[in-house]
Structure 1
Amino acid sequence: MTRVVFLLVPGVHLLDLAGPAQVFSTAAGFGHPYALSYVAEQPRITTAQGLPVAADLEWPSLSPEDLIVVPGWRTTGRPGSPGIGGTVLDALRAHHARGGTVASVCAGAEALGRAGLLDGRTCTTHHDVQEELARRHPKAVVVRDVLFTTDDRVITSAGIASGIDLALHLVAVRHGPAVAARVARQMVVYARRNGDQPQDSVMLRHRSHLDDVVHRAQDIVDARFDRPLRLPELAAAVGVGERTLSRHFTRATGLTPLRYQQALRLERAEHLIGHGATVDAAARSVGFEDPRMLRRLRGRRAA
């Protein structure tokens, strides 16, 4: 069981809070247990949208596997308010020192800055308060125009909807990109990426669509990419004809089902080779009967 503690401050933005909470709650519904807690310095918090929210005053016991998330709050061009007490800052520092992960959404980066967790690390926040965050915390490396950053278990996001991207990233790191893609699909959002890096996963790269037939087909291919999978079998499994599946799949992903499977195999093979496997061993591991096919695919990508 992984515990996710949301630290709430007066004026917290609902989407900064609800977006990540929904991601972890959805992942829990898929069998990846998360326990969500809400902590504040007072028992009742009024959000920026006027909704009162109840919170616990006592912090739960946390392990290094657990996560603290600081959602952002309404600002007037300055991330420096509201007041955050020393006990809260001590809790953030202590959790990170024990090996835990801390994250922020939007102006919540200010809390991490006050705790000294941004010093010498890359971070980001909402574009309205980036300059002020950099001024208040000159040892921080504030990165502009990205969705989120991650640096030594300190993760910050740009704000509002990007908190969903941050949470999906954490789910992908902990449980794999296929789980993150499934969560994104359930939430009817795109599985997006960090703005300053290339897409890292074939699974996520080709999940930015809303075609349910194709998502169901991808679920099957993702789970069985290293085994033979014929188009008639795949089409029957999702309840459509072969031509219909091919047309939908190509339109949604830019690839045929076979090319998608090959891309998954190639990505996994490259990972194995990078960790010391021979080309022949990697080819067999990902399902290629003939290693020459893997060599051809690697050659095409390098060309």
Structure 2
Amino acid sequence: MVVYPEVQALDVTGPVEVFDTVNRFLPDPAAGYRIEYVSAAAPLVRTSAGLMIQAAPLETGEGRMDNLLVPGGWGLGQALADHDLLCWIQRAAKRAQRVTSVCGGSFLLAEAGLLDGRRATTHWAYCQDMARRYPAVTVDPEPIYVWDGPYVTSAGVTAGIDMALALVEADHGAEFALEIARYLVLFFKRDGGQPQFSGMLDAQLADRVPIRTAQEWVRAHVEHPLPVPELAERVHMSPRNFSRVFRREVGMTPGQYVVQTRVGRARELLESTDLSISQIARRCGFGRVETFLRTFDRAVGLTPGAYRQRFQVLAPAGLLIEPPVAAGSQG
């Protein structure tokens, strides 16, 4: 892992904790990961959060490597202007089996010319900037991570954990990677195609109390019919004024918000339950299964069945691996 001043601490520690946890559970230590930090600012590199990382000089990282990981951070601007760092990344990429980045680290890979002609992602807030700066790179703002040949780029900050788990899955299998995710108390192990943030985050609660009240009502009663006149009456507004103010405050019409909320709830149920498609359709307020299928496919780009197959994670019956216990301790 290459680090630099003001690197994002979680971009570094998130993936590293995944790899370190793997090392503690593997029966054969030789099959694990040996983690090395290199930096032009060695021996001590200060992260944006004030944590200090002990790193070796760049020139010590000249041997063969399985994974090169480049994180992002608030010091990215200065890192992009560091010619020696960019040249080292170019050379190191030729020796690495996989070249990966977290968040803004993809800018460093692109600046080094490594992503030209490839598909990549970065933090959703910077995808447009990346696309403008590097027109030869196909920037995809949606996925949590993108795997294109030997290059794996991940979205913002915590997405680096998902990417690290994908690398573990490639090295040690899906079942083992899922158990690592469970031990790290992750809510679920996200597939790379999972959107960077949910539709519910995309439409935050409005500032005006009546509109926010209507939004909260929709979320709490998604299984019921939610016609606009009824929502307007509930917050003591005329339907026309309600629709106008709602669109201005939320950025979409009340009808669009209802559909987005229904689809968001359906995604949650598909990911976390074994309910049938028809049961989910009813619980999310779709009067007909056909309507649910058509609406979900149009909004997500997958049928509900395909979405479940890719993203459902149910807790298995028991742990496949036992947590490490210090010698002499009583379990």
Same fold (TM over 0.5): yes
Residue matched to 2:271: none
Q: Which amino acid aligns with 1:59?
A: T
The alpha-carbon distance between structure 1 residues 183 and 196, as it changes in their structure 2 partners (threshold 3 A), is: closer
Q: Does 1:109 align with 2:106?
A: yes
Q: Deviations over 1:245-264 (max 9, x none)?
A: xxxxxxxxxxxxxxxxxxxx
Q: Does 1:14 align with 2:9?
A: yes
- Give the gaps of 5 or more residues in structure 1: 1-5, 221-303
Q: Does 1:27 align with 2:22?
A: yes
Corresponding residue SS for 2:35: strand
Q: Which amino acid aligns with 2:7?
A: V
Corresponding residue SS for 2:100: strand
- Give the gaps of 5 or more residues in structure 2: 196-301, 322-331
Residue matched to 2:60: 59
Residue matched to 2:317: 214
Displacement, 1:124?
Answer: 0.5
Instruction: State how far apart, in whole Å, the 1-side matches of 2:41 and 2:96 are.
Output: 27
Instruction: State how far apart, in whole Å, the 1-side matches of 2:146 and 2:39 are.
Output: 25
Q: Which amino acid aligns with 1:62?
A: G
Q: Deviations over 1:153-182 (max 9, x none)?
A: 111111111000000000101111011112
Residue matched to 1:38: 37
Instruction: State how far apart, in whole Å, the 2-side matches of 1:134 and 1:160 are.
Output: 19
The alpha-carbon distance between structure 1 residues 29 and 206, as it changes in their structure 2 partners (threshold 3 A), is: farther
Runs of 4+ deviating beyond 4 Å: 196-202
Q: Deviations over 1:53-102 (max 9, x none)?
A: 221114334325x1110111027xxx644345333323332333345211
Q: Which amino acid aligns with 2:166?
A: H
Residue matched to 1:185: 182
Alignment of 1:91-170 (within 5 A): 91-98=88-95, 100-170=97-167
- Tell whether the 8 Å contact from 2:22 to 2:180 is kept in structure 1 after alignment: yes
Corresponding residue SS for 1:214: coil
Instruction: State how far apart, in whole Å, the 2-side matches of 1:81 and 1:152 are.
Output: 28
Question: Percent of counterpart pairs with the same letter?
Answer: 33
Corresponding residue SS for 1:93: helix
Q: Which amino acid aligns with 1:34?
A: Y
Alignment of 1:228-239 (within 5 A): none
Residue matched to 1:265: none
- Tell whether the 8 Å contact from 1:92 to 1:102 is kept in structure 2 after alignment: no
The alpha-carbon distance between structure 1 residues 71 and 99, as it changes in their structure 2 partners (threshold 3 A), is: closer
* Larger Rg over CA atoms: 2
Displacement, 1:186?
Answer: 1.3
Instruction: State how far apart, in whole Å, the 2-side matches of 1:20 and 1:157 are.
Output: 11
Instruction: State how far apart, in whole Å, the 1-side matches of 2:308 and 2:155 are.
Output: 22
The alpha-carbon distance between structure 1 residues 168 and 86, as it changes in their structure 2 partners (threshold 3 A), is: same
Instruction: State how far apart, in whole Å, the 2-side matches of 1:117 and 1:173 are.
Output: 22
Instruction: State how far apart, in whole Å, the 2-side matches of 1:184 and 1:13 are.
Output: 22
Q: Which amino acid aligns with 1:102?
A: V
Q: Deviations over 1:213-240 (max 9, x none)?
A: 7243xx39xxxxxxxxxxxxxxxxxxxx
Q: Which amino acid aligns with 1:45?
A: V
The number of aligned residues is 205
Q: Superposition RMSD on alpha carbons, in Å? A: 2.6
The alpha-carbon distance between structure 1 residues 183 and 42, as it changes in their structure 2 partners (threshold 3 A), is: same
Q: Deviations over 1:18-54 (max 9, x none)?
A: 0100111111112231100111101222211122322
Corresponding residue SS for 1:36: coil
Instruction: State how far apart, in whole Å, the 2-side matches of 1:110 and 1:126 are.
Output: 10
Instruction: State how far apart, in whole Å, the 2-side matches of 1:163 and 1:111 are.
Output: 16
Displacement, 1:134?
Answer: 1.1
The alpha-carbon distance between structure 1 residues 201 and 19, as it changes in their structure 2 partners (threshold 3 A), is: farther
Residue matched to 1:296: none
Alignment of 1:191-206 (within 5 A): 191-195=189-193, 205=311
Q: Which amino acid aligns with 1:91?
A: W
TM-score, length basis structure 2: 0.56
- Tell whether the 8 Å contact from 1:45 to 1:55 is kept in structure 2 after alignment: yes
